[in-house]
């Protein structure tokens, strides 16, 4: 009997942006009913912090100095994917969300038209996260201190 080859895990890096009210920035995932944190795949040669900062810029248009990011570490997420998360306190730099914009696009599965990965932003408390985010993400975020 042949041994199963191990599942190769990709790494997705994301940021928990937390406001003074201890709410989390979440992004609406275009053409779905769900919300998510800004996150995405780590590119070759990129550190997890560089990937998290890039994904935050691309998916929400937000940027903070690297020194403000707190490394929360790596987490099991799916059989084929690990998450590496950071936390950053928004402070006075992100008081309103009106200026946020997604600059990362993908082709619509039917029309092929390029659409943004995210199309809305909001602050969410723990109950909001549990109700609005993908179940696997909501479960993980519920275990973290933010």
Tens-level pLDDT at each residue, the chain (146 residues): 556 656 678 999 999 999 999 999 999 999 999 999 999 999 999 999 999 999 999 999 999 999 999 999 999 999 999 999 999 999 888 878 999 999 999 998 889 999 999 999 999 999 999 999 999 999 999 999 99
pTM for the full predicted model = 0.91
- Structural domains in the chain, sorted by start: 10-143 (3.90.79.10)
pLDDT at 109: 86
Q: Which residues of 48-84 are buried (b: 16+ CB within 10 A; e: fewer)?
A: beebbbbbbbbbbbbebeeeebeebeeeebeeebbbb
In sequence order, the 6+-apart residues with CB closer than 8 A to the CB of 145 are none
Q: What is the C-alpha to C-alpha distance for residues 90 and 88, in angstroms, rounded to an integer?
A: 6
Record the tokens describing residue 120, joined without a space.
Answer: 């809305």
Terminal CA-CA length for the chain: 47
């Amino acid at each position: 009997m042949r041994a199963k080859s191990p599942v190769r895990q990709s790494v997705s890096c994301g940021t928990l942006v937390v406001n003074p009210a201890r709410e989390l920035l979440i992004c609406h995932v275009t053409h779905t009913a769900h919300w998510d944190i800004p996150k995405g795949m780590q590119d070759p040669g990129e550190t997890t912090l560089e990937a998290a900062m890039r994904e935050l810029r691309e998916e929400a248009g937000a940027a903070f100095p690297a020194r403000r990011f707190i490394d929360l570490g790596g987490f099991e997420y799916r059989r084929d994917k690990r998450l590496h998360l950071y936390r950053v306190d928004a402070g006075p730099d992100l008081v309103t969300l009106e200026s946020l914009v997604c600059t990362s696009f993908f082709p619509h599965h039917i029309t092929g038209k390029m659409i943004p990965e995210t199309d809305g932003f909001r602050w969410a408390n723990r109950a909001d996260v549990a109700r609005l985010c993908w179940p696997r993400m909501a479960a993980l975020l519920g275990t973290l201190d933010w």
